[in-house]
Structure 1
Amino acid sequence: MTDKTKLDRRRFLTTASLGGAAAAAGTTLAAPAIAQEMPAINWRVASSFPKSLETIYGSGVDVSERVKAMTDGKFNLQVFAAGEIVPGLQAIDAATDGTVEVANSVGYYSWGKDPAFACGADLPWTFNARGKAAYNYHGGGIDSYNEFLAKQNLVCFPVGNTGAQMGGWYRKQIGSVADMQGLKMRISGLAGRVVEKLGVVPQQIAGGDIYPALEKGTIDAAEWVGPYDDEKLGFQKVAPFYYYPGFWEGGPTVGMFFNLAKWNELPEVYKSILRTACQATDLNTLSEYDYKNPPALKRLAQSGAQPLPFPEDVMMAAFDASRQVYDELSNENAEFKRMWEAQKPFLNDWYLYGQTTDYTFDTMMMIQQRNGKL
């Protein structure tokens, strides 16, 4: 080995040793920095849903479990069912005023406080679930909604969608829009304001009181969610006509509503983890409903339910009524107008595009299903 080779070898070994020491030092220095960004935090989540509706209630639990796993147990969200801390319809208010740090709820439950709350949840005759997700994540929907929510001391991220819901349970058949006149129906909020223009008399009734009200004839109809959740309540025994679609909820979005002041206190890494967990749960909740609803509808039909489409004149009248309501609300509420106007261009593009792809594909597959070829 020459003197030059010995020198080069010594220089390499020295440099490599320094590099290794530097790398080790870098690792040693990084660990405390990361640890400082991962403090132990325990938050409470007030759900608007009972545990019996395990899919929609489970959206909050799903986020909690994902966050706990991603933070090695340092960030914990404890979920409380409706009524355990506050009544379900007051969950968002509880997050606003800091009674809890988070609400797992749907924006239109706060319709009475401000109609603009409905825009981030669902508006009748607008997006289906896929269109809503596209608008939320790539069309600025989440940011637009949070611009409004910041004034309510809130920030929200979607955590689930049921897909288009069913149109509810009716004691008598609906043959035309004339049969909607005077119909006493359990339906609330923005949807109630729309169907009221068809002659329906909206009724505010808690979930647990719907069955006896239908059974006694106190109400003539009631909307709930869809086959999987509706099955648990046994409505087909007292109101067998099961109409579809629930045009007031084509893509209803459940959210995690965070108290804005508490959100702003979080380390950036926790904010990123929460956003990631919420988006993963958003997809998972819809997928779970899509998997559970088909067999549930079959079971309901076997037990006496009669699924029926709304007559065309009912749907056309309801569509026209929805636009009348949006015009009225836009004149009354600047925030509602801002969010409604913002989504309209993509709403038009979404259904133009849908005619060329999913609609044609799905129609062909449905024909094959009816022909027994699947």
Structure 2
Amino acid sequence: MKRRDILRAGLAGGGLAAGAVAAGGLAAPALAQAAPDVRWRLHSAFPRTLDALYGTAELFARQVFEASDGRFQIEVAPAPGGESAALLDAVAAGTVEMAYSPAYYEVGRDPTFALATAAPFGLNARQQNAWMLHGGALDLFNEFFARSRLYALPGGNTGTQMGGWFRREVKTVADLQGLRFRIAGLGAQVLAKLGVVPRALPGSELYAALEGKTLDAAEWIGPYDDDKLGLNKVAPFYYYPGFWEGGAMIHFWFGAQKWSELPKAYKAIAQSAAASVNGDLQAKYDARNPEALRRLVAGGAQLRPFPQEVMEAAFKAANEVYGDLSAKNPDFKRAYDSLRSFRNDEYLWFQVAEYTYDNFMIRARARG
């Protein structure tokens, strides 16, 4: 039996065993009551033009629709007015039933939110997923989110991001002094310790800000999206890696009350669809980034690794930020202690097989 058929059977049975349905245990009116029509709205923090991200929410909605035989419909739209900052407030208040957004947009509300997306020098994409799904993080965060009347499910990962576009080269830590840099999440706090002036701007405003020289640098995600935004035309130096987002996870957000009211079968459908698209988003980026990077380089982008001096200084600053936040915020400390312990175990494993294999294959490719 296909997964969709299993979900349909569960939906039709309203949680009863499939055998009871097959035996004629439910009359048609009971079936209708067990599968009510539900109409929800989902607001995305990303515009339609960023099709990998926006399309993930659309794919989720389509899978929910198909698995429920059209009874559970979710209308996807960009955040009203392109404003993503108030999305979770709207979800918590029940103004809209769902959102698709990274948790670190809420870092100003509480820095604990940011760890659910990515932490500077934290986990890579596979490790973030493992921590969330099998390391206890999802339960930990949903307990925390519940205080804000929210419930979340993982909805995809971008993989390790690029370090962004710079109008001038960064050769030493001194070159960061006074640098007006669009950066989100905890990365902004870390780089501020090195003299950077963080700016919070949506992706749609980055080109104009770089062109008008109100920004000196900007990071978004990686080659596929950066190519769409045209950032290489206004800032030639393309740095890597984005050490503040080793594996940035996006979440589907539900109002806690709305989620609790969903029929059990619909919850299962939503969980199944979220799990499906959670893997799909990174697969999209992994498939599309290589060709996009070639286009950007052919168009004049100058690839640069961050100097070791900058990486080391940022690593030190990150640990200082984590120490300060942990001392003041018990929720942050609990989540960060869990992340740090999980990260150390993961890299104990990754250095054995993953790193050795990848390192050999990268060198083999270089040899042709």
Q: Return the TM-score normalized by structure 1.
A: 0.90
The aligned runs of 1:326-337 (5 Å cut-off) are 326-337=322-333
* Partner secondary structure for residue 224 of structure 1: coil
The aligned runs of 1:201-216 (5 Å cut-off) are 201-216=197-212
Partner of 1:5: none
2:245 maps to a residue whose letter is E
Partner of 1:111: 107
User: Is the CA contact (8 Å cut-off) linking 1:181 and 1:199 kept in structure 2?
Assistant: yes
* Partner secondary structure for residue 229 of structure 2: coil
C-alpha displacement at 1:82, in angstroms?
2.5
Partner of 2:49: 52
Partner of 2:59: 62
* Partner secondary structure for residue 139 of structure 2: helix
Matched, 1:152 2:148: yes
* Partner secondary structure for residue 132 of structure 1: helix
C-alpha displacement at 1:207, in angstroms?
2.4
Distance 2:130 2:99 in 1: 24
The aligned runs of 1:23-38 (5 Å cut-off) are 26-29=23-26, 33-38=30-35
Distance 1:311 1:37 in 2: 60
Match of 1:360 among 330, 351, 356: 356
Partner of 2:306: 310
Matched, 1:172 2:164: no
User: Is the CA contact (8 Å cut-off) linking 1:119 and 1:145 kept in structure 2?
Assistant: no
Partner of 1:127: 123
Distance 2:330 2:72 in 1: 37
User: Is the CA contact (8 Å cut-off) linking 1:116 and 1:336 kept in structure 2?
Assistant: yes
1:29–1:173: structure 2 CA closer, same or farther, 3 Å change rule? same
1:30–1:311: structure 2 CA closer, same or farther, 3 Å change rule? farther
Distance 2:181 2:339 in 1: 29
User: Is the CA contact (8 Å cut-off) linking 2:180 and 2:215 kept in structure 1?
Assistant: yes
1:189 maps to a residue whose letter is G
Partner of 2:223: 227
Larger Rg: 1
Partner of 1:79: 76
RMSD: 1.7
1:316–1:25: structure 2 CA closer, same or farther, 3 Å change rule? closer
The aligned runs of 1:4-23 (5 Å cut-off) are none
1:245 maps to a residue whose letter is P
Instruction: Give unpaired runs (5+ residues) of structure 2.
Output: 1-18
Partner of 1:8: none
Mean CA deviation greater in 174-183 or 23-32:
23-32
Describe the superposition over 1:213-249 as per-residue Cα deviations: whole angstroms up to 9, x where unpaired: 2123222111111000000121112211000001111
C-alpha displacement at 1:24, in angstroms?
8.9
Partner of 1:286: 282
2:65 maps to a residue whose letter is K
| Off by >6 Å, runs of 4+ in structure 1 | 22-25
Partner of 1:271: 267
1:360–1:34: structure 2 CA closer, same or farther, 3 Å change rule? farther
Q: Return the TM-score normalized by structure 2.
A: 0.91
C-alpha displacement at 1:337, in angstroms?
1.1
* Partner secondary structure for residue 80 of structure 2: coil
C-alpha displacement at 1:308, in angstroms?
1.1
C-alpha displacement at 1:30, in angstroms?
7.1
